[in-house]
Amino acid sequence: MKIILFIYQWFIAAPILLILTLLTAITTIIGCTLGKGDFWGYYPAQLWSRLFCILSFVRIEVRGRENINSKTSYVFVANHQGAYDIFLIYGYLNHNFKWMMKKSLRNIPFVGKACEAAGHIMVDNSSPHKLKETMEKAENTLKDGMSLVVFPEGARTLDGHIHRFKKGAYQLAVEFNLPVVPLTIDGAYYIMKRGTYTVKPGKIVLTIHKPIYPQEHEGHNLNELMETSYKAIVSALPEKNR
């Protein structure tokens, strides 16, 4: 069975997914260049992500979708278990958003250009001036229901456990007075662990928690916001991944 799965993944699924990735990137670039970037920067990638999961035999369950409104801008913060976190959120969150990503990802052939064309926020902290430009772009993006997704751990977990969160995503929520929605990803670590290149079919559960709204006239308290969202994310994880 493992041999059959290996042959399928590398000689059938992989070539198909490579072609789908190139087509999605090209469609995104052309569509965003011609206009309506909010549409072309999201929906082709959503379809691509769902096909990625289907062809990889990865089942998805979403809980708590009723907690969010498509017309409200949020800062989504999620734990980062593995490579399939990207496909999970893109394909199944069902809320238009931009990623906050490392500037270095712009160098990925086709994909990096597509991300740039789609308006995803490339973080450049090489100087105070560049960081200010990043913040200004984020402010211009987060309106009219457009949201932001960030992995506050910064990188995929190596051991399956959730790790300390960084402040960057939360500072944006504090600065722009936006509600924060914690997202729990459970199962992606076992689908494709960091450092591996094979996919293990299975199930990923995405839990969308209730938004954490800023207090009227006071806004968010950064430390409380981080602690509350961390606890919410951990609450939907099995003991072995906490």
pLDDT tens profile 114-142 = 999 999 998 877 777 777 888 888 888 88
State pLDDT tens for residues 55-104: 999 999 999 999 999 999 999 999 999 999 999 999 999 999 999 888 88
For the ranges 159-173, 200-214, 225-239, the lowest mean pLDDT is seen at 159-173
Q: CA of 96: how far to CAs of 38, 51, 75, 120, 185, in Å?
A: 8, 18, 12, 12, 18
- pLDDT (average), residues 130-158: 89
pLDDT at 213 over 80: yes
Whether 231 has a pLDDT exceeding 90, the answer reads yes
Residues facing residue 1 across a β-bridge: none
Q: Is the pLDDT of residue 111 over 90?
A: yes
Expressed as residue numbers, the domain containing 30 is 2-241
Residue 2 has pLDDT above 90, yes or no: no
CATH number at residue 10: 3.40.1130
Q: What is the pLDDT of residue 123?
A: 84
Nearest to 91, CA basis, from 48, 125, 55: 48
Within 83-240, residue ranges assigned H as helices are 84-92, 111-118, 128-141, 168-176, 188-191, 222-235
More confident residue, 203 or 101: 203
Report the domain count for the chain: 1
Q: What spatial distance separates the first Cα and last Cα of the chain, rounded to whole Å?
A: 32
